[in-house]
Structure 1
């Protein structure tokens, strides 16, 4: 962390960089989850469309 000659309540540049890195990583993780969910929904729609074709 940064040198502690600042007030204890003040956030240092290193702290802000760490917080930014954590939020970026969390955002990237959420993007991956949304892509996986979208892929699962597309596969489900395709399989239900195939089932309706064969049932007719």
Structure 2
């Protein structure tokens, strides 16, 4: 089982990638690709946050 520290770092990493992909929607040329990537990263981030909170709780 993954400990809460590792889940926290993974969540922080995916949150950073989600913010970057959100910014690329505005400045990038291939908007549809960035929108899809942003949606996938956001769902993964949400699941990791839920797992981290559930584990710590």
Choose between structure 1 and 2: higher helix proportion.
2
TM-score with structure 2 setting the length? 0.47
Instruction: Pick the structure with greater CA Rg.
Output: 1
1 or 2 for the larger relative contact order (CA 8 Å, sep ≥6)? Answer: 2
